[in-house]
Amino acid sequence: MKKFIQLLIFLFSVSQISAQYTTDYPFDSDWVTNFNGRVFNIVDLGAIPNDEINDSPYFRMAADSIQHYGTGKLIIPSGLYIVGEQNINPNPNSQEQYYQNNEIFNIEGVNNVIIEGETGTKIKIRDGLRFGSFHPLTGEAYHHEPDTVQFTTYEYRADVGDIFLIENSNNIYIKNLELDGNNENLILGGYYAETSAHGKQTEATGIKLMGSTNAKIQNIHTHHHGLDGIEITHYNLTPTSNPTVVVLENINSEYNGRQGLSWVGGIGLTAYNCKFNHTGKANILSPPASGVDIEAEDSVCRGGKFINCELINNGNSALVSASGDGGYSTFENCTFWGNTSASLSITKPALYFENCQIYGSMYHAFGSSDDASLATKFTNCHFEDLEHPDYGVFRANYLIDINENDLGNVTFDNCTIVANEIKSIWITNELNVPAYVKNTTITHKKQIENHDFIANFRRVSLENVQFTEEYPAVVTDVYFINIQDDVDVGNCVTLENQHVKWESWDNDTMLGNWILPGHYPMQNTLELLTPSVGETLSVGNVYNVTWNVDNSNDFVEIQLFKGCEFLETIENTTENDGLYAWTVSSDISTANDYRMKILNKNNLQDFDYNPTEFSISNPSAGTNDIINGNELHIYPNPFNDRVFISYTLKEKPEKINIKVKNLLGKTISETNIENQDTVGNMEIKLNNFASGLYLLEFYDNLEMLKSFKIIKL
C-alpha cells in the first residue's frame, strides 16, 4: 500500500509540473458539426484539374468569396491544380520589386472556414518562379557583397507566396490535401536574410496561420516548399494570454527549404502522428533547416505537445528550440534522428521528453537551479548513435554533449544510453544544484585511445546507474569515467566492466563493485556473505549477517536498502568480527527486493553491498485455517510480489495443486507439485499481477481444501 500511495503522489506531482506548461488544448469541433455557411467548389469557380492552366485566379476567387461572406467551405475535388504567379514590373525601378507575386489563397478576419480536399487532391507551385534576391532593375539574381552582413532590402526580394495564408481568423479546418512547393524547379536568386548563411527567407510556405485560433490541419502532405511546410505564428502574446489552439494530425511535411514546422508563437499547439523529415534535402537549405523549430518572435510559445511524431534526416538538428520565449513543450513517443546534424539542439525551458527514441548526438539542455519544472527532462528515453539504414547518423565527440553553466535539475530518468562509435556522455554543470542521471543504463562500445576517458560528469547526481560495456575479447585497452567537482554517486551505481573503470584507468579496485556515495573508489576489504541471493527472511526471527574480515580492530555499520533506496540503519556500530545477529523487525514490510550494506566506520571507502536481492516475509500477517484436520497458512496477506503457503496435511499427498483466479473465476496462475511430504512450504510468485483482490485455491490430490481471498498491494 505504501508503494501504491507513493506512486499516486509521484504521478500527482508530475502532472502538476507538466500541467503548468503543457496542458492539453483540444480543437473545438462543434462548429464543424453545425456548419451552415456557404459552400464553394473550386471546379465550379472555373478551375480545371489536370491541365497546364494556372488555377491561381480561381483560388483567389474562392478566398475573396469566403472573405466577403465572413465564412465558408471550399471543396477541392481530386486532381492536380497548378498555382503561383509572379508579374514582372513593367517599369523596373529601384523602389519596387522586379518580380511581384500574386497571392494564391489569402483570407483575414473570418470565422468558420473549412478547406477540404479528396483522395488525390494536389496543389502544386508552377515551374520557374523566382525565389530569393533579384535586382529590381534587371531581374537578374542578385548576390550581395559582402555576404557576411544582413541583406533584407525589400525591393530585391522575390516571393513565391504561401499556398494558404490565413490571418487573424477563428475556427479553421483544413484537411485531405497534398501541397507541392516544387522547390526543385524554382529559379533561385541570392540570399535574403541576416547573412548568406541564413539562406533565402522570403515567402514560400504550404500553410501559414498568422494570429488564427482554434485551427485543425489534418491529413496533409506538404513538401518541397521554398520555406516551410507549415508555419504557425501568433504575435504579441504573453504567458498569460488566452490559448490560441492549433492541432496538427497526420501531417507529412518533408523536403522543405527551411522547416517542416515553424512554431513562431502561440499557446496550445498539438501534433499527433506527424512527420517532419528531410528539411533542406532537396534544392534549398535555409537555416535552421530543422524538422521542428520552436522560435517565438515578439511572442511566446507555450503548451506544445507532440505525440507519435518523427523528425528524421533534416539538414540541421531534428528539433531546434534556441531563441525567443519558447520551449514549454512535451514530446511523447517521438523519434528524433540526427543524420547530418544533431538530434536535439535545445536551450529553452520546460522541454520534456517521454518514451522517445533519440538517435545521433544531441547538444545542450536547459537547467534551472531555482525552478525544477523548467529544467529539461528525459524519461524512459533511448539514446544511441545508431545508423539509419538510408541516411546514416550524426556523431559528435559525445552522444550526449551538454556543457552549460547551469544544468541544475536537468534529468535523465529510466533511460538507456548506448554509445557505439563515440564517447557516451559529457555533462558539466557549473552551479551547485546538480543534474540528475538515475535508473539508467549507459553502455560503452567505442574503442578509444588507451587510458583516455569515455564519459565525463561534473556536479551530477548518479543514482541506480549501471555502466556496461560491449567490447571484443581481443581488446586490452582500458578507459575511465572522468569525475570532476561534486559528483554525488548514490546507491546502486554499478561498474561491472573489464575495460571501463571509475575515476582513473589504473583504479583496479573498482571492477565489479558497487560504488560508494561520493566519488571516491571503494577499498573493498569487507565482503558481505549473507543474506544470499533469493534467500527469504521471516520477521521476528534472528538472522546471522556474516562477512569476511581483513581488519578486526575496526567497527562497522550495517544498513538496509529496499531496491536502491536507503531504508534504515540496522546497527550503527558493531565490532568488525564477521558476525551480527539481526532480529528482523516486524515493522519491515513483506517484499523481495531488499539489499544490505556494510561499511567500515573508520574508513567510509571500505564497504560492500549485497550484490543481489533477498526477501523478507511475515508469516504472522496471513490467513490460517484448519479443514478436516489439515492446517493451511497463507502469508503475507495482503502481499506485494509473492505469497507463501505452509501446510500440514493428515495424509501424504501425491499431488498438490495451487490455482490463483481473478474475480471472474479465470485461472491466471497454476502451480503443481508431486510427491510431497505431509508438512511443507511453497512460494507463489505473483509480481506481474495488478493490484487488487484474487482467489487462491489449494487442492490436495485434486480435491480443493480451501479457497482464500488474497490482496495484492
Mean pLDDT in residue range 169-181: 98
Cis before 49 (ω within 30): no
In CATH, the architecture of 619-712 is Sandwich (2.60)
Mean pLDDT in residue range 231-251: 96
Q: Residue 489: exposed, middle, or buried by beta-carbon count in 10 A (0-12, 13-18, 19+)?
A: buried
**Calpha distance 290→299 (Å, rounded):** 21
Q: How far are the Cα atoms of 534, 560, 615 from residue 531, in angstroms, in the given order?
A: 9, 11, 9
Task: List pLDDT tens digits, range 363-400.
Answer: 999 999 999 999 999 999 999 999 999 999 999 999 99
So where are the chain's domains?
397-410+417-522, 527-613, 619-712
Q: What pLDDT was estimated at residue 511?
A: 37
**Calpha distance 443→445 (Å, rounded):** 7
Q: What is the residue-averaged pLDDT of the chain?
A: 88
pLDDT of residue 47 exceeding 70, the answer is yes
Task: List pLDDT tens digits, range 492-523.
Answer: 787 767 788 876 555 444 433 334 333 334 45
Percent of the chain surpassing pLDDT 70: 92
Percent of the chain surpassing pLDDT 90: 62
In CATH, the architecture of 527-613 is Sandwich (2.60)
- Helix, strand, coil % in the chain, rounded to nearest 5: 10, 50, 45
Contacts of 36 (CB under 8 A, 6+ apart): none
Q: What pLDDT was estimated at residue 604?
A: 59
Q: How confident is the model at residue 172 (pLDDT cuts 50, 70, 90)?
A: very high
Task: List pLDDT tens digits, range 615-644.
Answer: 887 776 777 888 888 888 888 888 877 788
Task: List pLDDT tens digits, range 333-365.
Answer: 999 999 999 999 999 999 999 999 999 999 999
Structural Rg of the chain based on CA atoms: 33
More confident residue, 506 or 538: 538
Q: What pLDDT was estimated at residue 374?
A: 95
Q: What pLDDT was estimated at residue 3?
A: 36
Report yes or no: 190 and 201 within 8 Å, Cβ to Cβ: no
Q: What pLDDT was estimated at residue 611?
A: 59
pLDDT of residue 83 exceeding 70, the answer is yes
Q: How confident is the model at residue 593 (pLDDT cuts 50, 70, 90)?
A: confident
Asked whether this chain's domains 527-613 and 619-712 adopt the same fold, the reply is: yes
- Name beta bridge partners: 598: 558, 608
CA-closest candidate to residue 706, choices 638, 628, 636: 628
Q: What pLDDT was estimated at residue 296?
A: 95
Mean pLDDT in residue range 255-284: 97
Mean pLDDT in residue range 5-22: 36
